[in-house]
Amino acid sequence: MPIKPPDSRSGAGSTFDPVQENLTYGVWGDSDTGAGVIGAGEEAMTDTAHAGPAGVVGVNKATRGVGVEGFCAQGTGVLGVGGADQPGVSGKADTGAGVLGSSAHGVGVAGHGAGASPGVSGQADAGPGVSGQADAGPGVLGTGTGAPGVQGISTGNPGVAGSSPPGPGVSGISTDGPGVFGDSGHGSGVLGMSALGIGVEGTADPGPAVSGSSPSGVGVFGTSVSGTAVGATSTSGPALTATTGTGTGASIYSSEGIAVSAFCGHPEPDTGESIGFIDLPNNGPAVRGHSWFGAGVQGVSESGAGVDAWGSTGLTAGGRTLGADISNNLRVNGVIVSAGSARFVIDHPLDPAGNTLTHAFVASPEQKNVYDGVATLDDTGAATVTLPDWFDALNQDFRYQLTPIGAPAPGLHVDAEISGNSFSVAGGTPGGKVSWQVTGIRLDKWARANPVTPVTAKPADQRGRFLHPTAFDQPAERGIGVPPVPVRTNRPEGV
């Protein structure tokens, strides 16, 4: 006959200890203020299909009843430890939650399974398989050594759904397998939503922190009101990897904030600045796009900038044929630095369909403006040339060129230099024409703040290197400013 423990251990006089008594028991409850274990039923249990060699069995035939429900103010609501190959906590329900745990400060449901069995296993036809609620801790906590800590399988709803106001909605820790594993035929494999914290968080040493696979839906989906929807951190491998056969590898949308924010490197302890370490030492890109046939990185915006770049060098571009191809107007708010020659290319005016016409820009070691025109002389062989009303405010150090048209004019000369945005010529043929040209050096505030220095010594790291090494019979690797070409190790066959 079974030996029962005393009615209560609340009193100080109770000395019962099941371990010292060497007793085996199915249910043990211990409480200082409340009931350790309590069970109540309206009728005798005749449904033997639900009974088995379990530590605790709960059967509720109500429409939306709970098989086993645990609540604790500071500890664990439901705790199960399974032996052999059995789960720690197992629940099955037709419409409600298979296992429901609620805790104010601790864990709602905690399960430890032995062998290949899951720590917590829940099955439900319409509701969640496992439902956990917690005010400060995780709603559901699963720890697995060889199997998933928490595994959810659903045909139409999320496999695992976690929601928590301050903490993680779902938290999984595993030494060998995935911390959280979700498999769904139509819905989300893992769905995490958080009002202020992290919707889904995964940490893994050798494998992926969060892995999502879906035939037609979303593999991993994160929604956050004010925090991070999906955050990935890795110590050695890729923090986030997205692979697709025909669709989009990663689709990211933001209505008011930043759609993608990427950082590469590690912070310096003194300055907090980020230093990259992927390519050359301290030289890794924050975002890299590699494509064999399309654009490496493409940015499209309806009203803002398609690509916004800022840095020591805001934008660096290189190509086999063209370094940059701009289809609309180009505005530069600084200095245009050309390491070669500046040219314009247009359709050939006589053969626009078959040829182009190329002209080189005129260069000068000074910030020079050029003005010209044709003046008609009066009956005294003189004329006044009127310049724009902003001429004097923009130019200084004038140079003049006069050429008579139609007949020589040995006495043609500048009679009065530029003053009041005009100058005068005289000594020409009465009624004749004169072609004139005037140059001036810019004196506006920007030009004065940014003077041209014709000869500049190369910095120490560029000494012995060339802007155009092949023009000096030098190898291309001795060039300046040539960005390294990224090496791809998994190049497809035949490409």
Of 61 and 356, the structure prediction assigns the larger pLDDT to: 356
Question: Does the structure show a pLDDT above 60 at 26?
Answer: no
**What's the pLDDT at 95?**
67
Q: Nearest to residue 127, comparing CAs of 102, 158, 149, 163?
A: 158
- As a whole number of angstroms, the distance between CA 408 and CA 383 comes to 17
Question: Does the structure show a pLDDT above 70 at 474?
Answer: yes
What number of CA atoms fall less than 13 Å from residue 164's CA on the CB side?
30
Average pLDDT over all residues of the chain:
74
* pLDDT single digits (tens) 131-162: 766 666 677 777 766 667 777 777 767 777 77
Sketch the domain layout of the chain as residue ranges.
160-169+189-197+220-230, 368-449, 457-481
Residues 126 and 156: beta-carbon distance below 8 Å:
no
Q: Which has the minimum average pLDDT: 29-38, 41-50, 174-183?
A: 41-50
- Which tokens hold the place of 200? 């889904």
- As a whole number of angstroms, the distance between CA 141 and CA 143 comes to 7
Q: Nearest to residue 337, comparing CAs of 483, 485, 484, 480?
A: 480
- As a whole number of angstroms, the distance between CA 278 and CA 287 comes to 11
- Which tokens hold the place of 311? 């840095």
Sequence-ordered list of residues with C-beta below 8 angstroms from that of 126, at least 6 positions apart, any chain? 94, 95
Rounded to two decimals, the pTM is 0.50
Q: Nearest to residue 418, comparing CAs of 436, 400, 441, 445?
A: 400
User: Is CATH 2.60.40 what the domain over 368-449 is classified as, yes or no?
Assistant: yes
State the pLDDT confidence band at 272, using cuts at 50, 70 and 90.
very low
**What's the pLDDT at 368?**
96
**What's the pLDDT at 33?**
53
* pLDDT single digits (tens) 248-271: 777 777 776 776 766 665 544 544
State the pLDDT confidence band at 289, using cuts at 50, 70 and 90.
confident
State the pLDDT confidence band at 415, using cuts at 50, 70 and 90.
very high
* pLDDT single digits (tens) 241-250: 777 777 777 7
Of 372 and 75, the structure prediction assigns the larger pLDDT to: 372
* pLDDT single digits (tens) 315-372: 888 788 888 888 888 888 888 888 788 888 999 999 999 999 999 998 899 999 999 9
3-state secondary structure 46-101: CCHHHCCCCCCCCCCCCCCCCCCEEEECCCCCEEEECCCCCCCEEEEECCCCCEEE
State the pLDDT confidence band at 240, using cuts at 50, 70 and 90.
confident
- As a whole number of angstroms, the distance between CA 354 and CA 362 comes to 27
**What's the pLDDT at 50?**
47
Residues 181 and 118: beta-carbon distance below 8 Å:
no
- As a whole number of angstroms, the distance between CA 274 and CA 265 comes to 5
Average pLDDT over residues 375-387: 97
